[in-house]
Amino acid sequence: MNRIKIKNKKLDEFDFPFMGYTGYTITKFFDNFKHLSFLLDKLETSTMRRDMVKIRVDRPIYITGLARAGTTIVLEMLSKHPDLATHRYKHMLMPYLPHWVSQLAKRTNIYSEPFERYHKDGIFVTRESPEAVEEILWQKFFNRVFSENTSNIFDMKVSNPKFEKFYRNHILKLILNQKSSRYLAKNNYNVTRMEYLLRIFPSSKFLLIIRNPVNHIASLIKQTRLFLGIEIKKPLFNEWLRMIGHREFGHNSICINVGNTELIHKIRKLWKNNKTYVKGWAYYWASIYNYVADRLEKNKKLKSATLMVRYEDLCKTPAKIIDKILTHTELPLRKFEKVKDYYVRNLHEPTYYVPNFSDQELEDIIEVTSSTTKRFGYD
């Protein structure tokens, strides 16, 4: 895992701030007392019911793809569109109460100043920055969400009325609180739930983010090394990741099972050997994007609802790709022109690390992923 050259020494430093401990304590409390969480959710819903019945969940936008594909930058960009409501860092403490937490945040100065997020990727955030939060909710309703030994696929046949009612109400409360008209979410785990979400909300729009496997795998390895180091210094960080549903990296990372448990076992075995470690990541990358490509070929409605965005294209021709995203998601450009101009000027591929794979590792990546990359238009 030392094959990635890191240009920023701060990647090896980690300071868990005082407010981090506070956040951990609050998150742990509500994680332990789930009944209280749902009771408060019902109380908040009852106070907003009169306004909730006047609106509906219209064309929700879901950003998904394997972690480190570029999903965060797309979320950050689209969250600035005034028509969209999305989760923020402040909601991570108590995600069941999107309205009340926002009201409380207005009365405090907690996390109002920018700080670099734990990924150490140069992205600075505040409590108002968009974040992937909804996985906390999914894992409370579905036991198999974080199981490598069970298929994580949620297709059109899946049904969970309690979750669907809760989830719909939750989105409506978020929309009302942010005075928006539509919902935006980034969730890497939704890559195997697109068909289920399309059943719940037939007007859904999906943005599937993909990145060339060499740079993508380099980023995955860099992030894995970083989180493992953090957890050694601060063990509670590992538990916090578990509670908030961020299980892509670290000692308790969970692979997404796309219906092939034997492949997961093979990947885990490859990761244990330093000589085959990179090859294991190549198999994991290919498994996720092959699965999505298969579903898009077989499900015409899903294909129509999905726009594939290559991260490299977004960085090299941002104006063109942003226009495609806005057209697909049916978001008006007139409200987004300044934001678009900003990202056209500033989008670029990461410069704080570079891949440094051996010739054999590069051969392994190409061998394992070449058939998959062709399905997404890569040479």
Going from N- to C-terminal start, the domains of the chain cover 5-375
Give this prediction's pTM: 0.90
What CATH number does the domain located at 5-375 have? Answer: 3.40.50.300
pLDDT in tens, 103-162: 888 887 666 566 656 655 556 677 788 999 999 899 889 987 778 989 999 999 999 999
pLDDT at 220: 95
Distances (CA, A) of 238 to 10, 24, 148, 333: 20, 11, 18, 41
Both tokens of residue 41?
């959710």
Q: Which amino acid is at 12?
A: D
Cβ neighbour number for residue 64 with a 10 Å cutoff: 24
Among the residue ranges 21-30, 123-132, 231-240, 288-297, the one predicted with the least confidence is 21-30
Q: Which residue has the tokens 């998904």?
A: 64
Report which of 149, 230, 170 is spatially closest to residue 45, judged by C-alpha positions: 170
- For 276-311, what is each residue's pLDDT tens digit? 999 999 999 999 999 999 999 999 999 999 999 999
Structure tokens at 120: 């150490």
Region for residue 245 given its phi and psi (left: phi exceeds 0; alpha: psi -120 to 50; beta: otherwise): left
Q: Which of 218, 213, 379, 378 is nearest to 308 (CA)?
A: 378
Q: Is the pLDDT of residue 9 over 60?
A: no
Question: 225-231 long-range contacts, Cβ below 8 Å, gap at least 24?
Answer: 225/1, 225/2, 225/4, 226/11, 226/12, 226/119, 226/120, 227/118, 228/1, 229/12, 229/14, 230/14, 230/118
Helix and strand numbers, DSSP H then E, in the chain: 16, 9
- β-partners of residue 206 are 62, 306
